[in-house]
Amino acid sequence: MSSRRSRTRQPGCSRISDDQINDLVSKLQQLLPEIRDRRSDKVSAGNVLQETCNYIRSLHKEVDDLSERLSELLASTDTAQAAIIRSLLKQK
């Protein structure tokens, strides 16, 4: 099996090697909190993609909920200046 490790970014690249895909999938795997904590070696590519979709959906949902919360808070808070400066200076 000849696998080319070409890192070309052409939009229609026809020869995508398995190694390349495995690399990217494992990189993605490291970002997912679910799989990272599970520490199982038997994680298939399909599983990683599935978990990725779930994770993205949950992040979108969190953004929705936080937007709701912020909209309520924005309406009620008067002294927001100090809070804003505080958050901006927080460097985690």
Partner 1 sequence: MISKGATRNSNSRRIKFARRFVSALLHMRNQNPRPGSLSIEGSVRTRSQRIKIAAYLSMAQAVGSRRAWSRAVLSKLGSRARRHMRRMGRSSLGSLKKKRVIRSYSPGELGQAKKLRQLVPGGETMDICSLLEETAHYITCLATQVKVMQTLADNFSK
Binding site for partner 1 (CB under 8 A): 9, 11-14, 16, 20-21, 24-25, 27-28, 30-32, 45-46, 49-50, 52-53, 55-57, 59-60, 62-64, 66-71, 73-75, 77, 80, 83-84, 86-88, 90-92
The residue (of 40 and 71) whose beta carbon lies closer to partner 1 is: 71
Q: Which of 4, 34, 33 is nearest to 20 (CA)?
A: 4
Closest separation in Å from C-beta 40 to partner 1: 18
Rounded Cα distance between 49 and 17, Å, is: 18
Contact partners, residue 3, CB within 8 Å, separation at least 6: 17, 18, 19, 20
